[in-house]
């Protein structure tokens, strides 16, 4: 069965708009609660048979089962999850960006109840493999596979197949890091620059913090790179009281991306439509640096020649001390390592990561931000359940929908 994705997504947006401006009447009984749960989770009306079964589950005290029935609807994947994830895949948070391997991988992980921490560390990839679909093969240098899947109108719930990045893309397994090393992620955030964008947007998308919210001028500045002026505009106070607050913590963590780049033809393909992720494996040497470190990490070195020169991909989390220790870093991890996989694991095992996922789902399903202590207590409860039962995001959707069904 095909889903009219655009229409369904617009219906969900319209529902959200209405929900933010109109008071929702009190829910009288199981039938109304079932309709509310289905609407919040899918943006479409349920079939009569589904609604009846959901209402029976609610009447029998099993509202969670009713929510899972709603999530069997294709619109949950094609619309709700698509709307959640798509803004994460671009720097301008475009809600209507094309389907790509980043988006498809997150949707597939939710469908299969994969531990969501793997979104930043797993050797995991979802491609379209539905029987009867004539799709071009996955390519490291274009998005045609996912564009064709999207145009087919085939439900993502049925079309996506789990595989590994190392098998499909050729990236070494120990260099894979979930969506960070998908082609979609690389095109958005390893494109040009110094790869700090990948760290910043990962922080925003998966820990719900931008750099301004984690500034800490008390951390040592010893790993801040050469391209950061120590006297912007001739005033060293700007660096000491501003720049150092972000760079002292960010630069040691973003060093995990030292061997990655997104390569493209800047003259003939300035947006990187046909570019691809490039990684320096052991034994490979960048001619500009003489090491495995990509040349982009040494640009603007004359800005402050005495700054830090990246020698490898060893990262350290300076935020385990100071005010950002309250992000809740895992005591089971060392707080340092090599490469994107272990750094992604550091971020994904923080309390901030779990709280971020739950809060985003709550806001999407309930059509509002947490408003009072009861909401905050509920988010804390859902977060505890999320972290103690395998980091299954579908469970977060069910818990949020049940909580908001009585509004």
Q: What is the pTM of this model?
A: 0.92
Beta bridge partners of 177: 179
Q: Could you give the CA distance from residue 329 to residue 129 in angstroms, rounded to a whole number?
A: 38
pLDDT at 132 (0 to 100): 75
String of DSSP letters for 169-218: T---GGG-BTBTTSHHHHHHHSBSTTSHHHHHHHHHHHHS--GGGG--TT
String of DSSP letters for 225-290: BTTS-SSGGG-HHHIIIIIHHHHHHHHHHHGGGTTEEEE--TTT-TT-TT-EEEE--TT---TTTS
CA atoms within 13 A on the CB side of 400: 28
Q: Could you give the CA distance from residue 328 to residue 356 in angstroms, rounded to a whole number?
A: 12
Contacts of 142 (CB under 8 A, 6+ apart): 273, 274
10-residue averages of pLDDT along the chain (407 residues)? 44 46 54 96 96 97 97 98 98 97 98 98 94 89 97 95 97 98 98 97 98 97 97 93 96 98 97 98 96 97 97 98 98 98 98 98 97 96 98 98 89
pLDDT at 2 (0 to 100): 42
Give the β-pairing of 314-316 and 336-338.
antiparallel
Q: Cβ-count burial of 401 within 10 angstroms (0-12 exposed, 13-18 middle, 19+ buried)?
A: buried
pLDDT at 4 (0 to 100): 43
């Amino acid at each position: 069965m095909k889903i009219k994705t655009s229409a369904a997504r617009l219906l969900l947006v319209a529902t959200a708009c209405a929900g933010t401006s109109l008071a929702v009447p009190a829910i009288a009984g199981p039938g109304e609660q079932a309709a509310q749960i289905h609407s919040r989770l899918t943006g479409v009306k349920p079939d009569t048979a589904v609604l009846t079964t959901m209402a029976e589950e609610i009447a029998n005290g099993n509202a969670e089962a009713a929510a899972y029935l709603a999530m069997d609807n294709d619109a949950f994947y094609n619309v709700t999850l698509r709307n959640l994830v798509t803004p994460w895949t671009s720097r301008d948070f475009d809600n209507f960006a094309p389907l790509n391997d980043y988006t498809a991988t997150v949707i597939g992980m939710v469908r299969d109840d994969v531990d969501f921490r793997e979104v930043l560390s797993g050797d995991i990839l979802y491609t379209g493999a539905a029987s009867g679909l004539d799709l071009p093969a996955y390519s490291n240098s274009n998005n045609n596979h996912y564009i064709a899947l999207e145009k087919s109108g085939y439900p993502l719930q049925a079309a996506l197949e789990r595989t590994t990045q190392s098998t499909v893309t050729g990236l070494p397994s120990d260099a894979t890091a979930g969506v960070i090393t998908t082609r979609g992620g690389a095109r958005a955030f390893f494109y040009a620059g110094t790869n700090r964008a990948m760290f910043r947007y990962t922080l925003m998308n998966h820990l719900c913090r931008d750099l301004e919210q984690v500034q800490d001028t008390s951390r040592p500045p010893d790993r801040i790179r050469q391209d950061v002026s120590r006297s912007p505009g001739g005033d060293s106070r700007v660096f000491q009281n501003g720049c150092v607050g972000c760079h002292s913590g960010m630069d040691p963590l973003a060093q995990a991306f030292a061997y990655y780049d997104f390569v493209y033809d800047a003259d003939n393909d300035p947006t990187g439509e046909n570019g691809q992720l490039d990684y320096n494996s052991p034994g490979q040497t960048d001619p500009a640096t003489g090491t495995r470190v990509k040349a982009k990490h040494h640009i603007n070195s004359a800005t402050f020649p005495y700054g830090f020169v990246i020698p490898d991909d060893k990262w350290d989390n300076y935020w385990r001390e100071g005010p950002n220790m309250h992000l809740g870093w895992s005591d089971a991890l060392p707080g340092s390592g090599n490469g994107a996989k272990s750094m992604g694991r550091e971020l994904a095992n923080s309390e901030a990561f779990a709280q971020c996922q739950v809060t985003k789902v709550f806001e999407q399903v309930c059509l509002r931000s947490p408003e009072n202590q009861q909401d905050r207590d509920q988010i804390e409860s859902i977060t505890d359940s999320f972290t103690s039962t395998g980091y299954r995001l579908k469970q977060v959707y069910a818990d949020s929908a049940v909580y908001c069904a009585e509004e």
